[in-house]
Amino acid sequence: MTQTVEQETFTFQTEVGQLLEIVAGSLYSNREVFLRELVSNASDACDKLRYGALTDASLSSEDALEITLSNDPKKKTLSISDNGIGMTHADLLATLGTIAKSGTGAFIEALKAEEKDKPGLIGQFGVGFYSAFMVATRVDVVTRKAGKAEAWLWSSDGKGEFSIAPAERAHSGTTVTLHLKKDAKEFAEEARIRHIIKTYSEHISFPVKLGDDTLNAAEALWTRPAKDISEEQYTEFYRHTSHAYDAPWHVMHNRVEGTLNHTSLLFVPSTQPFDLFESERKSHVNLYVNRVFISETTKDLIPAFLRFLRGVVDSEDLSLNVSREMLQTDPQLAKIKASITKKVLSELKKKANKVPEEYATFWGNFGSVLKEGLVEDAALRDRILEICRFASTGVGDLIGLADYVARMKEGQEAIYYIAGDDATQVAQSPHLEGFKAKGVEVLLLADHVDEFWLQHIPDFDGKPFKSITRGAADLDQVQSDDMPEAEDMEAEANLSALIAAIKAELGEAVKDVRPSKRLTDSPVCLIADDGDMDVNLERLLKRHGQLQHGAPRVLELNPSHPIITKLADCAKEEATSGDDLLKDAAHLLLDQARIVEGEIPTDPPEFARRLAAVMARAFSK
Ligand code: ADP
Ligand code: MG
């Protein structure tokens, strides 16, 4: 036969091969979801053809777009057929032999490692078309691209190879036929099929037919009133439109009537999508015009800082002829974008206020993305700031800025924060001691975006943001019961000789040496001087090669720490003021302050030598 002669055989991309092995071998209790995946793909194909026909009349057809199932319990086959866009030979190679999804490599590694939790992980990641191999020993795909005459048969047993051969198909579209495994023959039974479609595909906009029966409502879900939609239907629709496998954290279904009518059905996922931090910062909300699918991902509809959103926006007031390229400049679309953005921010605000614990989960997933908006959209800054949450030294897990301001101590002028890259390290920083002692709350910022927006936003509610690792600690005005002022002054006066000695010894290595108001337990800490760049920002810039050398820092001494008081006494006695001990101690104090911040001593061998010398002296007494 000529067909076999023309048949070509290909090897699956390595990742697909690995994935298929896992899929075929897994005892996935929920394997009926394969049908959801195949119907979902058929629906996508119909959407694509409808869009294609808008701009290319030759693609439009008399036939209504639909998905047809046919089953044969005796032969143990099930096929899913659509009259959508279809695939060319090249499409087949590009889509049904490779896997384009980002994060696949990491996912496969995770699957290999996590023997036990395979089903959970598969469910979370989703394997789309390949899930057919959970139930089939062989999958045949006959497909013909709209506008093309030739058709192709793709076929595979899911064991490393697939073949493509020329085929016949009367109309454009795709038919996926599953030759079911023995233990999966239930999926060729009508009752089972009806039930699965009801469960997972009720929301599909195109008719899903079995014989003459249409199994679903076959109308766009978002056009139905919210009260008629169940939570399960929303969840399945979310999974279909976003190619996701979790359940939505929040559903927002709104209809806006007025100058620009539009309906939006938007979802906030409950887990981070794989591409959240890719540099493209793509948004993934589908745009429909009067129920016709226009574009899959567009920045012109959803701002990048809300790119975690999934779902659809449909407007009957946009032109159907709007091409994907023209979207960028469409003023109508810009208005819809603005309206949706405000709506989403206000819904998030409600969540933040009403269910703070749930909001904390959202914040953990998407807070750092949302904070990009603080810099990117000055007009929305205040709305975004309202829903930002931060860790702090105060009670409770996360705090909003309004609550912070409400909790400020009498006499406190600024919103204090400390920034760094490690949450634990930041929370243990010696700089916090004085603030804790006075009961002054400090925000603990360990997200690298924080440093970025802080450069652009000087204050909240008229209160400046102030880093506690930079400039003088203006804790004096803050009311407090402990720390008698007089004693303080006296202790400071005691330090003058020591300060002079340390300055002389450290020279250029420090900008200044001062008594500290922010330390209670630690002997020393380093801070950036008032006019200089904050410590964490400097560290960030250095790491990214944008800064060669930082400015020298100010070394602060705790006037009431025993090491410091002893050293101060030494420095006052003229006989010992030139002593090596004092010199070594000066360097050791500086290095100690560096180490606490996660830096290394300025000169590690010298550090070790000095430490040994000081210890030797201590033990020889
Ligand atoms: P996803 O749907 O998330 O893209 P799948 O594994 O489900 O991933 O499908 C892979 C790709 O195969 C689809 O993106 C599409 O390009 C193609 N495809 C699958 N089924 C069909 C179909 N019925 N008609 C046209 N293309 C299809
Ligand atoms: Mg799919």
Query: Residue 108 — pLDDT band, cuts 50, 70, 90?
Result: confident
CA distance 505 to 502: 5
Percent of the chain residues topping a pLDDT of 90: 61
Mutational test site, ligand 1, from 12, 23, 33, 44, max ligand atoms within 8 Å of CB: 44
CA distance 54 to 320: 8
CA distance 503 to 584: 13
pLDDT at 229: 95
For residue 127, the ligand 1 atom closest to its alpha carbon is 6
Average pLDDT (384-400) is 93
Average pLDDT (457-477) is 88
Amino acid found at 123:
G
Superfamily name with CATH number, domain 8-213: Histidine kinase-like ATPase, C-terminal domain (3.30.565.10)
Angle between the N-to-C axes of helices 580-596 and 496-506, in degrees from 0 to 180, rounded to the nearest 10: 80
| Mean pLDDT, the chain, whole residue set | 88
Query: Residue 446 — pLDDT band, cuts 50, 70, 90?
Result: very high
Q: Is 274 in the pocket of ligand 1 (CB under 6 A)?
A: no
CA distance 184 to 135: 6
Nearest Cα to Cα of residue 292 among 316, 265, 258, 325: 316
| 422 burial via Cβ count (<10 Å: 0-12, 13-18, 19+) | exposed
Lowest mean pLDDT among 118-122, 197-201, 253-257, 531-535: 118-122
Q: Is 85 in the pocket of ligand 1 (CB under 6 A)?
A: yes
Residue nearest to atom 12 of ligand 1 (CA): 95
Cβ contacts of residue 267 below 8 Å, gap of 6+? 234, 238, 242, 248, 249, 250, 251, 252, 309, 310, 311
Q: Are 276 and 305 in contact (CB under 8 A)?
A: no
Give CATH for domain 226-354.
Answer: 3.30.230.80
Q: Where are the domains of the chain?
A: 8-213, 226-354, 485-530+538-619
Q: Is 129 in the pocket of ligand 1 (CB under 6 A)?
A: yes
Q: Has residue 96 got a pLDDT over 60?
A: yes
To the nearest 5 percent, what fractions of the chain are helix, strand and coil?
45, 20, 35
CA distance 143 to 87: 6
Q: Using CA atoms in the order 237, 242, 247, 253, what is the torsion angle rounded to 10 degrees? A: -60
CA distance 232 to 242: 15
Q: Has residue 98 got a pLDDT over 70?
A: yes
Lowest mean pLDDT among 193-202, 276-285, 321-330, 593-602: 321-330
- How many Å lie between the centroid of ligand 2 and the Cα of residue 156? 18
pLDDT digits (tens, 9 = 90+) for 139-155: 999 999 999 999 999 99
pLDDT at 122: 60
Superfamily name with CATH number, domain 485-530+538-619: Heat shock protein 90, C-terminal domain (1.20.120.790)
pLDDT digits (tens, 9 = 90+) for 469-518: 988 777 777 766 555 555 666 767 789 999 999 999 999 999 999 999 88
pLDDT at 1: 47
Q: Is 84 in the pocket of ligand 1 (CB under 6 A)?
A: yes
In angstroms, the Cα distances linking 145 to 59, 88, 153 are: 10, 6, 12
Q: Which helix (H) or strand (E) covers residue 104, if one does?
A: helix 104-113
Q: Are 43 and 205 in contact (CB under 8 A)?
A: yes
